[in-house]
């Protein structure tokens, strides 16, 4: 019996991609990966310095657009810029942000401020939905490729969304929400030929740790079972590229963590 093979990958040539947080560690590596795959990329970030520098380095028509994930008009402007470069086929949501590390009740007997909890969950969970829904709206206008594919959206969670550490109630709740969003979003968007996937990184060597590479590796590397090191942003980007390329990856969260599991500390 012969098996008819339809298209099995999303071709980014003559297309655009949008990377939210494109000036950061994960984001800039993903931007470079998508450029290698033939896309012109909108580097969406709050940091003009990093975004402009990366766009100038690439020099392929990709550009920086200052973007606030919590503002609908800002995200729409980034999407419109992408559509000027070609049909938006891939969107990666990997923006950063700070959360206040604090127990629900601190040593001083005071509770963790509700406003701070709201701020973290708003940034990481609501911001993700804002971008995802607006990107999907744009992708729905695309002409379908093989297998009715119009685009793919990749969100970013964390292994803290599964086993959060002490002081991570806000961050873990937000990232757990991003994980939980993945399957129903993929089901919602399936009739439109839009896939939704999520990547949950472990400890990666990015500027988020705010310490030197040597210090970060010494602290976090030994906690990873195999290999005994922190992850590299290029490894996140490689996975994002494979998700884009493989049409049968949909509705799932992939941990990329070297088999690391956070303990209570």
Q: Which residues are catalytic?
A: 171
For residues 86 and 182, what is the distance between their CA atoms, to the nearest angstrom? 26
The answer to whether the CB of 259 falls within 8 A of the CB of 225 is yes
For residues 114 and 173, what is the distance between their CA atoms, to the nearest angstrom? 13
Which of 186, 184, 75, 82 has its CA nearest to residue 127? 75
Give me the half-sphere count of Cα atoms (radius 13 Å) on the Cβ side of residue 220: 22
Chain-centre distance of CA 166, in angstroms? 24
Spatial neighbors of 177 by CB under 8 A, at least 6 apart, are: 121, 124, 125, 161
For residues 30 and 204, what is the distance between their CA atoms, to the nearest angstrom? 14
Taking the CA atoms of 234, 42, 72 and 99 in sequence, report the sign of the dihedral they define. positive
């Amino acid at each position: 019996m012969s098996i008819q093979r339809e298209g099995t990958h999303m071709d980014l040539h003559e297309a655009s991609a949008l990377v939210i947080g494109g000036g950061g560690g994960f984001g800039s590596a993903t931007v470079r990966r998508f450029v290698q795959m033939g896309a012109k990329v909108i580097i969406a970030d709050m940091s003009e310095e990093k975004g402009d520098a990366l766009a100038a380095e690439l020099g392929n028509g990709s550009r920086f657009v200052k973007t606030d994930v919590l503002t609908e008009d800002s995200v729409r402007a980034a999407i419109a810029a992408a559509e000027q470069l070609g049909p938006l086929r891939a969107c990666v949501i990997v923006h950063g942000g700070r959360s206040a590390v604090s127990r629900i009740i601190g040593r001083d007997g005071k509770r963790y401020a509700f406003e701070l909890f709201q701020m973290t969950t708003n940034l990481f969970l609501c911001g993700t939905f804002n971008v995802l829904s607006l990107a999907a709206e744009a992708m729905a206008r695309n002409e379908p490729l093989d297998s009715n594919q119009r685009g793919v959206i990749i969100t970013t969670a964390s292994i803290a969304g599964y086993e959060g550490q002490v002081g991570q109630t806000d961050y873990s709740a937000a990232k757990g929400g991003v994980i939980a969003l993945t399957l129903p979003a993929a089901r919602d968007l399936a009739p439109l030929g839009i896939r939704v996937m999520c990547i949950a990184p472990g400890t990666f060597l990015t500027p988020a740790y705010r310490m030197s590479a040597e210090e970060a590796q010494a602290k976090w590397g030994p906690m990873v079972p195999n290999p005994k090191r922190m992850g590299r942003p290029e490894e996140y980007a490689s996975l994002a590229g494979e998700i884009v390329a493989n049409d049968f990856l949909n509705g799932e969260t992939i941990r990329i963590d070297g088999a690391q599991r956070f303990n209570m500390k």
